[in-house]
Amino acid sequence: MKKISIQVLTLVAALAVILTLSLSASAQDGAALYKAKCAMCHGPDGSKLAGHNLQTADVQKLSDADISGIITNGKGKMPAYKSLKPEEVKGLVDHIRTLKK
């Protein structure tokens, strides 16, 4: 009995580590993707485009789904990024949330 509960604990601990690692990996990917694909227009901190400053409440009040939609479908002069995987789009949304001032 005791042995089983130790195995279960080990499994839970291992899962927790994997989850933490994959979450931080997605945040890092988001930052790297942002730098590669978005920063030339929006600036490294998101504030370069006047009127579309990613740090401001106007943008931060958009839902994750809204921002994901803008990234995948584009908006006005912003190009569409249709080839990004859903987890990459999510990483970008997470990164945009970190830009909030």
Sites of contact with ligand HEC (CB under 6 A): 37-38, 40-42, 49, 52, 54, 58-59, 67, 70-71, 75-79, 81, 92, 96
Which of residues 31 and 78 has its CB atom nearest to ligand HEC in the complex? 78
The span from the first CA to the last CA of the chain, in angstroms, equals 52
For the chain, give me the number of helices (H) and strands (E)? 5, 0
Residue nearest to ligand HEC (CB): 76
- In 3D space, the residue among 58, 69, 57, 67 whose CA is nearest the CA of residue 95 turns out to be 67
Task: Tell me how far, at minimum, the Cβ of 22 lies from ligand HEC, in Å.
Answer: 21
Question: Could you tell me which residues come within 8 angstroms of residue 44 by beta carbon, excluding any fewer than 6 positions away?
Answer: 35
Distance between CA atoms of residues 50 and 86, nearest Å: 28
The minimum distance between CB 2 and ligand HEC, in angstroms, equals: 51
Q: Which is nearer to ligand HEC, 22 or 94 (CB)?
A: 94
The residue among 19 and 75 lying less far from ligand HEC, judged by its C-beta, is: 75
